[in-house]
Structure 1
Amino acid sequence: METVVVLGSETLLGKTLQRMTQNGEFQQYTWIFAESTDLAPPGDAKTPFEKHTPDIAISFTLTEERTDSQSGNMREALLVACNTLHGAFLANTHRVILCAKRRDSVVRHPVRAPSTADGTHIEETIDALCQSYNREYGTSFAALLAPTVFGPGGSYTPKGEVSVHSLISMCMVAVDEEKDLVLCGNPKETIQTVYAVDAARLAVSAIKKDESPLVVPGTDAVLEDTVVAIARESGFKHSIVFDTRHENTSPAPTASEHFPAACQTPFNDALRETIHSTKAGLLNSISDS
């Protein structure tokens, strides 16, 4: 049985995949979950690659932003990717799936895409790095470029980003304060997103794929429809107002034939599960305080 080490167990995708394995999925592998910080442990502590010499590694460490600095984002992405690939090479890990958020997966105010000075973006750099390792060492690495991920256990998103989680948070605040929900931008713009359960399944299925980069097919959710669905599930009764003086910039729709459509959870079902989980979490935090 092959051993898979998952880096980034603290991320939404990491927590989701761990929960899925605990519920009996993917039992053809032995699973080890490690946090992102374990890649650079203090002192003489060993990395997950040194401890476990896994056959396969899946990294979710780049699926969530950690800094508002574009250059900081790029430096961290390159450092994480290099540490992951180098550790895998030393441990004779034969397959690495590096997952990173695509730059065109969210609506932003203002648009802010992590990039280098010459305009090269994170996903292009990560894929180029994987390709160079493939050529140099004959080892199989792939970059799985996921859109913004949402699902139970997700958290607030970076300031200025319109995503499913930020819309849920805004709607719940409006419910609590009994106020109208005011959003900037065109209600017909889209948010490209993917449900965490689907993204985790696709990352595991990428173990057996040869293409690189692999692009997760996200859902192009219309902003207005998404907000209305969130409002309905949240019990929001007031008005939803779009301030069109401040336009969003939305991603162009993308398509992928790498994965079957059967892998995708219906968007409204995924949204309902996420909202109910978020509401339950809020109620628990209130009762504990």
Structure 2
Amino acid sequence: MTKKRKVYVAGHGGMVGGAILRKLQQRQQAGEDIELVTRTRAELDLTDQAQVHAFMRSERPDVVILAAARVGGIHANNTYPADFIYENLMIECNVIHQAFSTGVKRLLQLGSSCIYPRETDQPMREDALLTGPLEPTNEPYAIAKIAGIKLCESYNRQHGVDYRSVMPTNLYGPGDNFHPENSHVLPALIRRFHIAQRDGIDEVVIWGTGKPRREFLHVDDMADASLFVLDLPRDVYQANTLPMLSHINVGTGADVSIAELAATVARITGFKGRITCDPDKPDGTMQKLMDVSRLAEMGWAARIGLEDGIRQTYEWFLNQPDAGLRRK
């Protein structure tokens, strides 16, 4: 009898990990011979080396998908820089090393577009990594995610395993964090405009000048891209990465200004009042657009348009009575 392929999804309780888990469950239902392994944060603390060591030896997965991370927007990154660098470094070191130590040959770790220099050329190519200073507001988090890439590359070089990294642009969708202080820009705008529309408030103030441009990818597209990259034959994957750089960008290849994004969210939520900018608040990087040509050449492209995706996300939000107060 053929042994089922055991796949461990680290971070399945988060937005991205949850979307990947749903895709894998759909594959199970379609007859794919896989066994899914998950643990909640209460069951397994990924920052604890001993716990991860014991878990990997007990479960012995064949494949690991590392979607667990401490994440947040500008405010959270500025307020908790030590937490962001420590927790993300520990998660990556523990999961990647303990996966290797128990014989895991294939691993996929998810990073972030913030790994690229603040002033790099747009759109951002994979080879822009480590070519200039990072955006100061999220530098600790970015350094941790760069370390994750280099961990995978180093284990590949020294031990011949197949550890891959995907770098998504800004993600959104069902399961997002809508906390008023610690959320990213899109869920923060959805929550703010929803409350203003609900309570009859005639003005919504957005952080910064509204001029920065951002790219947004629906989490279901990200889950699809992650499994696409994970499933690529090793020679195909290696042929489409750069020498000494094992990561691949994931995005839509299109961006919008924060002001345009706010106008779209206002329209979807039914807000009719004024939208004003607060230039005393930080803008962050002025543009973050991913070069996704490598992934496109391999045959993958995003399917969910931004307005449709925001509308779906808002509908999900409306069905979550506690979503505005949840924290990851």
Same fold (TM over 0.5): yes
Pairing 1:1-289 to 2, within 5 Å after superposition: 1-24=4-27, 28=32, 29-36=34-41, 38=44, 39=46, 47-62=54-69, 64-65=71-72, 68-103=79-114, 112-115=137-140, 121-156=143-178, 159=181, 163-179=185-201, 180-207=203-230, 208=232, 209-210=237-238, 211=241, 212-218=246-252, 219-244=254-279, 246=281, 248-249=283-284, 250-260=286-296, 262-282=301-321
Instruction: Please say which of residues 34-43 and 147-156 is displaced more in the overlay.
Output: 34-43
Give SS of 1:214's match.
strand
- Cα gap change, 1:45/1:103 in structure 2, threshold over 3 Å: closer, same or farther? closer
1:31-76 deviations in whole A, cap 9, x for unaligned? Answer: 2223356246798897442233121110111262487432332222
Alpha-carbon distance, 1:154 to partner = 1.1
Instruction: Write the deviation string for residues 175-201 of structure 1: whole angstroms up to 9, x where unpaired.
Output: 122111111323332123321101111
* Number of equivalences: 279
Q: Structure 1 residue 241: deviation in Å?
A: 1.9
For the 8 Å contact 2:115–2:143, the answer to whether it is kept is: no
Is 1:63–1:101's contact at 8 Å kept on the other side of the alignment? Answer: no
TM-score, with length taken from structure 2: 0.74
Q: Which amino acid aligns with 1:35?
A: T
Do the aligned residues in 2 keep the contact of 1:188 with 1:223 (CA within 8 Å)? yes
Is residue 12–residue 196 contact of structure 1 (8 Å, CA) maintained in 2? yes
Distance 1:158 1:147 in 2: 21
Q: Tell me, yes or no, if the aligned pair for 1:143 and 1:213 is still in contact at 8 Å.
A: yes
- Identity of paired residues, percent? 18
TM-score (norm 1): 0.82
Letter in 1 for 2:11: G
CA RMSD of aligned residues (A): 3.2
| Structure 1: gaps (5+ residues) | none
Cα offset, 1:251, TM superposition? 3.2
Q: Which has the higher helix share?
A: 2
Amino acid at match of 1:136: Q
CA distance in structure 2 between the aligned counterparts of 1:77 and 1:270, rounded to whole angstroms? 28
CA distance in 2, matches of 1:31, 1:217: 26
Amino acid at match of 1:199: M
CA contact (8 A) 2:88 2:145 kept: no
Aligned twin of 2:126: none
Quick one: distance in 1 between partners of 2:100 and 2:49? 21
**Bigger strand share:** 1
Q: Displacement, 1:221? A: 2.8
